[in-house]
Chains A and B, each alone.
Chain A
């Protein structure tokens, strides 16, 4: 049996006001697996990713990441868990008063990397997203697609075991979307666990991914790994 990296068991997330973003959700992501969460807006994809990142806590059920129950984890331990995650946000969450380099370097500074290593790693990550020549740029001078790629570079720069990406190709033109998909495939090949939400699973082509379809907070198709 494959070792599970992320497990959601009977998870319900009820927002104030009673709206249930996800309902009695059961989902297991194996170590090194590539899972695509698909579905329309409001299907609960972003909520599932937030639950996996410990940004939101389940109203019912349990969420386990790397064997740690996020419902009972001490708040002081959560940052250390998050250091093993690479998060790609739909709204990028870049620091607009910092350069592209400094944005990408942030996870490394947080984990206490030496300065020389930071430079090498940041440039390598920017290379992978095609923004090596923009490291000194101000994020505000970048297009939406470029900002998305900076966000992806920041998510992978510290070589996390798990990447959780919320609509990573949404703002990209086709050529860059394909590049990002290619990047995710390469991460997958080296054993990184990926959970990616997307409106357009076709962009991921024939990648060895498991597509999990969500509708109104319920899994309507648990998906299978493509051969």
Chain B
């Protein structure tokens, strides 16, 4: 057991030496791998944020009934009486145009622009919250309420969320395809790097075979090298994406608080990070294994 550990230790040390020995070439390779991995990773994070946002919006379906600008209290009471006791409705709230304006000022920090308007352009509205999973009933209510006297416009807030979900499903497919393609690219890059390493160490491999090295012994440092490349590439990709999310959050400012309730965009969590490391390390290992298996056969000592 200790012998096996020692052999693995030596192989790992050897792989590190090889990486450090050709620092510039190795760094450029790692950068290519990191950037290649960061593309699907970034898309995954963006989709994660959009998905969380749309789920949050779709969890409680809402219908907003905007009243006509000249609708009076009688019209509002008439609508309220229709809403009371409606089977599709969980609760509702009457939002006056003045309250809506105040909320707009607070939520979006648009007070300056609103002040410049000189008048309140917002209508009175009923914000109706449906029962859980009552999106379809609320959709029916939307069609019905749009015809009620005093109602100018009925807007179902889950509609766009469902449309976004559909786009996200498509986006996820793109991430899978892109991830697969770039995973293949990672395998190809590792394959080629290891091939060059093997060719450069041909003499050493032949001598080692002559004095009793098994194929496993010869293969081991290359497998570590491939795995290390994948892992370091994953670290670079992780760093790039986390940095980009941070910059985006700062740049988006107010918009970020619209996407995420607390203004903090979703990042890569621990499970994402572990999955990334396992996947990239595994692909690096696979590329190295493929390369070393194909090329070692050709190196028989003479």
Contact = CB atoms under 8 A, between A and B. Distances in A.
Interface of A: 53, 55-56, 76, 79-83, 85, 87, 89, 93-95, 106-107, 109-112, 114-115, 154
A55 B212 contact: no
Given A55-B301, A55-B302, A110 B207 contact: no
B204 interface: yes
B86 to A, nearest CB: 78
Interface string B1-33: 001101100100000000000000000000000
Given A95-B207, A106-B207, A111 B212 contact: yes
Given A109-B10, A112-B6, A55 B215 contact: no
Nearest to A114: B6
B214 A76 contact: yes
A89 B204 CA distance: 14
Nearest to A109: B10
Contact of B211 (A76, A87, A114, A115): A87
A81 B4 CA distance: 19
Given A79-B214, A112-B7, A106 B301 contact: no
B210 A110 contact: no
A interface, over-half SS? mixed
Given A55-B302, A93-B207, A79 B212 contact: yes
- The 9 nearest A-B residue pairs measured at CB: A83-B212, A112-B3, A82-B212, A79-B214, A110-B213, A79-B212, A107-B211, A93-B207, A95-B204
A80 B6 contact: no
Nearest to A110: B213
A77 to B, nearest CB: 10
Contacts of A107: 211-212
Contacts, number: 52
B147 to A, nearest CB: 82
Interface string B55-66: 000000000000
Contact of A79 (B3, B203, B204, B209): B209
A213 B65 CA distance: 110
A82 B211 contact: yes
A106 B210 contact: no
A106 B211 contact: yes
Contacts of A79: 209, 212-215, 217
Nearest to A81: B212
28 contacts: A53-B210, A56-B302, A76-B215, A79-B213, A79-B215, A82-B210, A82-B211, A83-B211, A83-B212, A85-B212, A87-B210, A89-B210, A93-B206, A93-B207, A93-B210, A94-B207, A95-B203, A106-B207, A106-B211, A109-B10, A110-B212, A110-B213, A111-B212, A112-B3, A112-B6, A112-B7, A114-B6, A115-B6
Nearest to B4: A112
B49 interface: no
A212 B250 CA distance: 85
A140 B215 CA distance: 28
Interface in B88-105: none
Contacts of A55: 210, 301-302
Contacts of B4: 112
Contacts of A114: 6
A81 B212 CA distance: 7
A107 B10 CA distance: 13
Contacts of A89: 210
Contact of A106 (B7, B203, B206, B208): B208
A79 to B, nearest CB: 5
Interface in B33-81: none
B206 to A, nearest CB: 8
B139 to A, nearest CB: 68
A118 to B, nearest CB: 10
